[in-house]
């Protein structure tokens, strides 16, 4: 595999608290995250060459398209008319915006780029929001027949249970663990623990998945400053290297895939990212994975190569994916507890990995973390994006 033309580092991070922000607009959320990241990087905003924003559906949630220009102006970046671009791949939009920022610098086009992700979901009722989220699935051949995102993941879950013996308790253990982690994250939507019994007894959304198997509806934004590596070493005391990037796609409808118990897009995206980084899954110290539904995390930790296919459930039950285990997964609380403002999620995941690699994650710090991985999925797996970051 050829090397990228130039190496790129993350030099600044920022995010809003995730949750229901009735008092904050999309613009205000975007600004808060952007300004934090720029201040964290300690750079003059005049040095910023370009902006990429991940956003799934402001057009549906707010009736507002063309948001890259809007955010650029609000963050004060339009004085020099820098290029501002919105990137969309359902709830992998943020991760994909990050990748575009990375490629933008690696290509030699720009030196310093801000990438952000934002979603404002609470301005509509939850059933309307569920309909918008389902737009990440196939409208003509899934949604029209009554499919929602939870329903499609539920179908994957039941098949996974049939093929590998995954249990309801193992699915529930994912949410229990992620809430336990989220309790230590001041930016998380839910900073409270839940019991296995609460998860198992919750009302069913789409059997076998219940309310606590599903990530919530959230408002939030996150941002990062990326910089060409040589410059980053000059201006930043703690740059974090982007060691690997991988993206994969698959059929939009789950019925057009040969298997619904794995995500081929994730397997391929991670293979590409591992190869570029020159590492194996065993060398990853901490990972943020896409647990929009509990079964999503179980499939992810298998497809990313952390565990054998079918061992995702047992591994979670064995505490292999928490602190002190084989690989701590979703130390931020994941999508389940940190919250899942669709377009912001992929950027928030990188925020968490950078915090871990800077050793600034406080109570949830993974000891001696040197290599971190972030994994983001669009919809049911039509897009998957994997990034590997490492300490310089």
Partner 1 sequence: MGVARYWRQQDQRYNLGGSKCTICNREFFPSRTMCPICHRRSLGKMEKYHFKGFGKVTSFTVVHDPAPGYRSQVPYILATIELEEGDLVLGQIVDCPPSEVEIGSDVEMVFRKLSEEGKSGTIQYGYKFRLK
Can you say how many angstroms the Cα of residue 180 is from the centroid of all Cα atoms in its chain?
19
**Is the CB of 160 or the CB of 364 nearer to partner 1?**
160
Q: Show the tokens assigned to 112.
A: 């310093």
Least Å distance, CB 260 to partner 1, is: 7
Helix (H) / strand (E) containing 232: helix 229-235
DSSP 366: P
**Is the CB of 254 or the CB of 286 nearer to partner 1?**
254
Judging by beta carbons within 10 Å of its beta carbon (0-12, 13-18, 19+), is residue 12 exposed, middle or buried?
Answer: buried
Least Å distance, CB 133 to partner 1, is: 9
**Is the CB of 143 or the CB of 221 nearer to partner 1?**
143
Q: Show the tokens assigned to 308.
A: 């054998």
The alpha-helical segments, DSSP class H, found in 308-363 are 312-317, 334-338, 342-357
**Is the CB of 1 or the CB of 144 nearer to partner 1?**
144
Element counts in the chain: helices (H) and strands (E) = 14, 11
**Is the CB of 8 or the CB of 134 nearer to partner 1?**
134
Least Å distance, CB 95 to partner 1, is: 25
Least Å distance, CB 58 to partner 1, is: 19
DSSP 139: T
Distances (CA, A) of 347 to 92, 265, 276, 385: 10, 19, 20, 12
Q: Which phi and psi angles does 227 have, rounded to 5°?
A: -150, 145
**Is the CB of 156 or the CB of 194 nearer to partner 1?**
156
Long-range CB pairs of 149-152, under 8 A, 24+ apart, other chains included: 149/292, 149/293, 149/379, 149/380, 150/205, 150/206, 150/209, 150/213, 150/214, 150/293, 151/206, 152/254, 152/380
Q: Which residue in 319, 310, 222 sits closest to 262, CA to CA?
A: 310
Least Å distance, CB 257 to partner 1, is: 8
Check: CB of residue 369 under 8 Å from CB of residue 139. Answer: no
Least Å distance, CB 199 to partner 1, is: 16
Least Å distance, CB 384 to partner 1, is: 19
**Is the CB of 214 or the CB of 355 nearer to partner 1?**
214
**Is the CB of 151 or the CB of 355 nearer to partner 1?**
151
Least Å distance, CB 128 to partner 1, is: 6
Applying CB under 8 A, which residues contact partner 1? 127-128, 130-131, 134, 140-148, 150-151, 154-156, 158-159, 162, 203-209, 253-256, 260
């Amino acid at each position: 595999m050829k090397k990228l033309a130039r190496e790129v580092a993350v030099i600044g991070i920022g995010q809003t608290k995730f949750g229901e922000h009735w008092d904050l607009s999309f613009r205000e959320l975007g600004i808060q995250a952007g300004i934090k990241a720029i201040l964290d990087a300690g750079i003059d905003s005049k040095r910023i060459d370009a902006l990429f924003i991940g956003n799934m559906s402001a057009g549906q949630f707010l009736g507002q398209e063309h948001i890259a220009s809007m955010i650029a102006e609000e963050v004060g970046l339009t004085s020099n008319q820098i290029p501002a671009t919105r990137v969309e791949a359902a709830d992998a939009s943020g991760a994909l915006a990050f990748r575009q920022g990375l490629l933008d610098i690696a290509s030699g086009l720009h030196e310093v780029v801000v990438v952000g992700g934002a979603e404002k979901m609470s301005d509509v009722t939850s059933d309307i929001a569920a309909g918008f989220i389902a737009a990440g699935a196939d409208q003509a051949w899934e949604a029209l027949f009554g499919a929602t995102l939870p329903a499609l993941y539920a179908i994957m879950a039941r098949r996974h249970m049939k093929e590998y013996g995954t249990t309801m308790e193992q699915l529930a253990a994912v949410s229990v663990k992620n809430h336990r982690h989220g309790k230590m994250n001041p930016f998380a939507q839910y900073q409270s623990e839940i019991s296995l019994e609460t998860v198992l007894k919750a009302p069913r959304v789409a059997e076998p998945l219940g309310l606590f198997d599903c990530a919530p509806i959230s408002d939030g934004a996150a941002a990062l400053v990326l910089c060409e590596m040589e410059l980053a070493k000059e201006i930043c005391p703690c740059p974090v290297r982007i060691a690997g990037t991988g993206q994969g796609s698959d059929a939009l409808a789950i019925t057009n895939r040969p298997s619904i118990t794995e995500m081929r897009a994730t397997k391929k995206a991670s293979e590409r990212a591992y190869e570029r980084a020159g590492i194996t899954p065993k060398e990853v110290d901490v990972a943020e994975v896409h647990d929009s539904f509990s079964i999503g995390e179980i499939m992810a930790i298998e497809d990313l190569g952390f565990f054998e296919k079918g061992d995702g459930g047992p591994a979670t039950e064995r505490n292999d994916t928490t602190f002190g285990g084989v690989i701590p997964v979703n130390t931020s609380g994941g999508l389940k507890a940190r919250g899942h403002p669709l377009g912001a999620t992929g950027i928030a995941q990188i925020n968490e990995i950078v915090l871990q690699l800077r050793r600034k994650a406080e109570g949830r710090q993974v000891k001696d973390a040197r290599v971190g991985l972030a994994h983001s999925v669009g919809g049911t797996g039509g897009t998957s994006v994997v990034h590997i970051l490492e300490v310089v």
